[in-house]
Amino acid sequence: MDATKMRLSLKTLTMLLLVALLPGAAGAASFTASLDRDSMMLGEQATLSLKFEGVQPQDAPGMPNIAGLQFQYVGPSSSFSFINGQTTSSVTYNYLVTAQRAGDFTIPAMRADIGSQQLASAPLKLTVTTANAPSAAAVNSGSEIAFLKFNFPKNKIYVGEAEVGRLELYLRDDVQNFGNFQITSSPTDGFNAGKTTELQNQRRRVQVGNRVYTEIPLALPLTAVRAGALTLGPFTASAVVVLPSQNQGGDPFFRQFFNQGEQQQINLATEALNIQSLPLPAQNRPANFSGAVGQFSFAASAGPTTVTVGDPITVRVQVSGRGALDGVTLPAQNAWQNFKTYPPTTKLDTADPFGFQGTKTFEQIISPENSDVHELPALTFSFFNPDDGQYHTLTQAAVPLTVKAAGTSPMPVQAANKNSADEKPAQDILPIKENLGTHTQNKTPLVAQPAFLAVQSVPVLAFLAAFIWRQRTDNLANNPRLRRQRAVAQLVRDGLNDLKKFAAENKADEFFALLFRLLQEQLGERLDCPATAITENVIEEHAVLRSAPNATRDTLRELFQLCNQARYAPVRGTGELNSVAAKFETTVGALQEVKA
Amino acid sequence: MKTFFASLCVLLFAAKVFAADAAADFSAANEIYAKGKFADAAAAYEKILQTGATSPALLFNAANAEFKAGHLGQAIAAYRQATLLAPRDAELRANLAFVRNQVQGATVRERFWQNWFSTLTLNEGAVLTAVLFWLTFALFAARQIRPELVPKLKGVTRILVLLTLCSATVLAVQAANHFSTATAVVIADNAIARSGPFDDAQTAFTARDGAELSVLDRRDGWVQVADGAGKIGWLPVKQVEVLPGA
């Protein structure tokens, strides 16, 4: 059963239990709505609980449409209590409430029709405020435990320009510790935002107004993707700080060592920053401009320069500098019409953690299509520099080529052999395979197949069987009494067959000789003494046999006497011998039951 | 017994017919590829894959066709699936490396140890570990049955136990990588990753066709992914091919 089915079953079971218990529940039915808070900041969430006591609605109540508020159903919770013979049960439906704007909201009274009953809740009020950064006066006075600032290096930015915003968290000097720092809202509409990371080794203590604060800087890489008036922030965050305990009791000397501090939840907000995002100018835009924005340098090389028609030439272009390198592409080179070109490969080596500074290397394979080609035309790369607001075009000089005519010079195909010393960059994929090869239908890995796992228990079981066998063998080897017991049991089993055979053949002498020997062996084993030492007298003398049933002892006596008589009156009939053999068998069975 | 043998014969016959059909379809798809109709060839290979048949060669050719048809992401996804079946195929690795080089933007690549661990397929690792496991316990059993062999078998036993433990460790890492991690290969031209799993959420970053991203979470037709530069965002499932393993 999967987790979903199990949850459904549990839910159904809970509901059935509640339904079963409700008839016995005491008290009137009620329906109440409550919020876990009356006010919250924009970006936070409140919890709305609809509680039904004494009744069980069929389903979660639908929520009213309130402009600016969104409700997200979380799930039900139920409780049941039995106090002084009175049972009460309740079901609570929980919703997350998210505000889309600041303002005062009223959640109207809600009605629920349950069977013949009509229940209604009271209306609720929720005030949503925008997060406000503390005033400069408050910060300078030192009354703020912590505050957040956001700095962006420019107030005008071009579309495609990349900059790193700096989010600074300030903690007052009496904050002993802080944790659970979470950015709860980071409005960066119109920007492509990267991951916020702390700038390592840049924490410092700064004097702000009357107090000293610890500044913790965080970097937020941003790339403008839309033109127009954009707003960054307000960024909001929450954290838990530990402040010195206000409890001033006890000895001041010890208090300075054992002050555990008090935890306090704080909400932080920055001012919103207005940024003007400018479109890239259309004027003077180079024809081969491919969207690179930043400050770049450009280097190119090509080789080999002496080739035959169709031979590959590797053109290596390196674009280095600062900007959104991720989006930098190799511009189309219109002057390469006499070359066959292949898609370029790229490699990005970044020099900063944001990917805004570094080198992007393009490698492109081209091949001259005729022997009239004498040079690789000049390579150009255009970019827009946001610092001077102008387009720049960088050019690398043409590379002279010597192209020889060739009768047949097929475009080389990538070789699979990776061991060749003069390995060249791949120019195309390797061709398809002609044979389908071994194909399979079952895609489930062996380790996920129960049968495969079950088979692995076989060697373990085999080992356990061998282990048990070894233990039993060792026990037998170390226990001569047990060994004798088993040997005598086997001897008696074989002997009984011989007795029956002698009886059938009417060989009385052999019959009684064997019978006497078997009696000696069996009694010797039971009494733990040599078989040759056994006579009729042991029946009376030995304590072990004294504890045997009287009938057994009588039969033993009788058998011994028969053996003795046989020496003097050996002739007996087959029937009598069979009767004696049966008595012996019965007696031996009884003897084996006697505790030795 | 007769019924059993009859059923076995029917199954064997059906398997043989199925294999013959797949081989014929494969050859037909190869011919389409040879004519330069790469998109049609890709569709033909995909049709064979949809029957449930799979082989390294089939996935390799499907990937080649997708690449030639200009679908980098589909090609990388198929090559990666093929490497799960034939991790030591040099041609496969060469083509995968070549196509990966065509992909723009940040992407997630296997680490050295992951490459090392994936030298064997998961099934090869499982069989190797099982064989070593059986041998080890057979040796244990032999030591019980013939204790006089214990001194002679001491060195062999130690080596076998060590090999079994190493093999089981590698298998455990492989299995954990296969079952608990996933990679999303972008199969759309410019897939816009958003900050939340809904269409009007803010743009987090743009992933290019063929970008390989780590899957962090899945929710209602969306996958949360991280690219090689550490950017995190949500992409619609239809724009990615989610594959097992990192």
pLDDT tens, residue by residue, A422-480: 445 556 788 888 888 877 765 788 888 999 999 999 999 999 999 999 998 888 888 88
pLDDT given at position A25: 43
More confident call, A136 vs A14: A136
Q: Please report how many Cα atoms fall inside a 13 Å half-sphere around the Cα of residue B215, on the Cβ side.
A: 24
Residue A205 · residue A182 · CB < 8 Å: no
The 10s digit of each residue's pLDDT in A210-249 is: 889 999 999 988 888 888 898 888 888 888 888 887 665 5
Residue B61 to residue B25: CA distance in whole angstroms: 13
**Could you say which of A326, A344, A433 has the minimum Cβ distance to residue B60?**
A433
Best interface-test mutation with A: which of B72, B202, B208, B224 has the largest number of A CBs within 10 A? B202
Contact A436 B22 (CB under 8 A): yes
Best interface-test mutation with A: which of B123, B136, B143 has the largest number of A CBs within 10 A? B123
Residue A378 to residue A289: CA distance in whole angstroms: 16
More confident call, B102 vs B233: B233
pLDDT given at position A24: 43
pLDDT at A420 over 50: no
Contact A192 B204 (CB under 8 A): yes
Contact B54 A466 (CB under 8 A): no
pLDDT given at position A1: 43
pLDDT at A401 over 80: yes
Virtual torsion, Cα A336, A341, A345, A346, nearest 10 deg: 20
The alpha carbon of residue A239 is apart from the nearest alpha carbon of chain B, in Å, by: 22
Residue B192 to residue B199: CA distance in whole angstroms: 10
Looking at beta carbons, which residues of chain A come within 8 Å of B204? 192-193
The alpha carbon of residue A466 is apart from the nearest alpha carbon of chain B, in Å, by: 5
Residue A447 to residue A453: CA distance in whole angstroms: 7
The alpha carbon of residue B202 is apart from the nearest alpha carbon of chain A, in Å, by: 7
Looking at beta carbons, which residues of chain B come within 8 Å of A426? 94, 97-98, 101
More confident call, A358 vs A185: A358
Q: How many CB pairs under 8 A join A and B?
A: 141
pLDDT at A152 over 50: yes
Contact A436 B94 (CB under 8 A): no
**Could you say which of A446, A455, A463 has the minimum Cβ distance to residue B140?**
A463
Residue A219 · residue A196 · CB < 8 Å: yes
Residue A409 to residue B195: CA distance in whole angstroms: 52
**Could you say which of A418, A436, A467 has the minimum Cβ distance to residue B23?**
A436
pLDDT given at position A412: 39
- Nearest C-alpha in A relative to B92: A430
A451 touches chain B (CB under 8 A): no
A432 touches chain B (CB under 8 A): yes
Contact B22 A439 (CB under 8 A): yes
pLDDT given at position B4: 55
Mean pLDDT, range B46-75, rounded to an integer: 92
- Nearest C-alpha in B relative to A426: B98
Residue B116 · residue B93 · CB < 8 Å: no
Contact B67 A326 (CB under 8 A): no
Report the mean per-residue pLDDT for chain A: 81
Contact B127 A345 (CB under 8 A): no
Looking at beta carbons, which residues of chain A come within 8 Å of B147? 470
Q: Which residue has the tokens 């207005």?
A: A274
Looking at beta carbons, which residues of chain B come within 8 Å of A432? 30, 33, 60-61, 64-65
The 10s digit of each residue's pLDDT in A176-215 is: 888 888 887 778 888 888 888 888 888 899 898 888 999 9
Mean pLDDT, range A276-304, rounded to an integer: 87
pLDDT given at position A260: 66
Mean pLDDT, range A337-343, rounded to an integer: 77
**What phi and psi, each to the nearest 5 degrees, are found at residue A578?**
-60, -40
pLDDT band at A7 (very low <50, low <70, confident <90, very high): low
pLDDT band at B187 (very low <50, low <70, confident <90, very high): very high
Specify the range with the lowest mean pLDDT, choosing from A327-336, B7-16, B35-44: B7-16
More confident call, A338 vs B170: B170
CA–chain centroid gap for A594, Å, is: 64
Instruction: Classify strands B203-208 and B212-219 as parallel, antiparallel or unpaired.
Output: unpaired
pLDDT given at position A413: 40
pLDDT given at position A11: 54
Contact A459 B94 (CB under 8 A): no
CA distances from A257 to A242, A253, A261, A543, B139 (A): 15, 7, 11, 83, 63
The alpha carbon of residue A331 is apart from the nearest alpha carbon of chain B, in Å, by: 14
Looking at beta carbons, which residues of chain B come within 8 Å of A443? 52, 54
The alpha carbon of residue B213 is apart from the nearest alpha carbon of chain A, in Å, by: 15
Looking at beta carbons, which residues of chain A come within 8 Å of B57? 433, 435-437
A418 touches chain B (CB under 8 A): yes
Residue B224 · residue B233 · CB < 8 Å: yes
A452 touches chain B (CB under 8 A): yes
pLDDT given at position A40: 81
Residue B109 · residue B228 · CB < 8 Å: yes
Contact A426 B178 (CB under 8 A): no
Report the phi/psi class of residue A386: left, alpha or beta, with left for phi > 0 and alpha for psi in -120 to 50.
alpha
Best interface-test mutation with B: which of A290, A434, A447 has the largest number of B CBs within 10 A? A447
The alpha carbon of residue B98 is apart from the nearest alpha carbon of chain A, in Å, by: 7
Mean pLDDT, range B77-90, rounded to an integer: 91
Best interface-test mutation with A: which of B25, B50, B60, B91 has the largest number of A CBs within 10 A? B91
pLDDT band at B6 (very low <50, low <70, confident <90, very high): low
pLDDT band at A98 (very low <50, low <70, confident <90, very high): confident
Per DSSP, chain B holds a count of helices (H) and strands (E) of 8, 7
Contact B104 A434 (CB under 8 A): no
Mean pLDDT, range B100-109, rounded to an integer: 78
Looking at beta carbons, which residues of chain B come within 8 Å of A444? none
pLDDT given at position A408: 36
pLDDT given at position A518: 92
**Could you say which of A329, A345, A438 has the minimum Cβ distance to residue B102?**
A345
Question: DSSP string spanning A230-257?
Answer: EEE---EEEEEEEE--S---S-HHHHHH
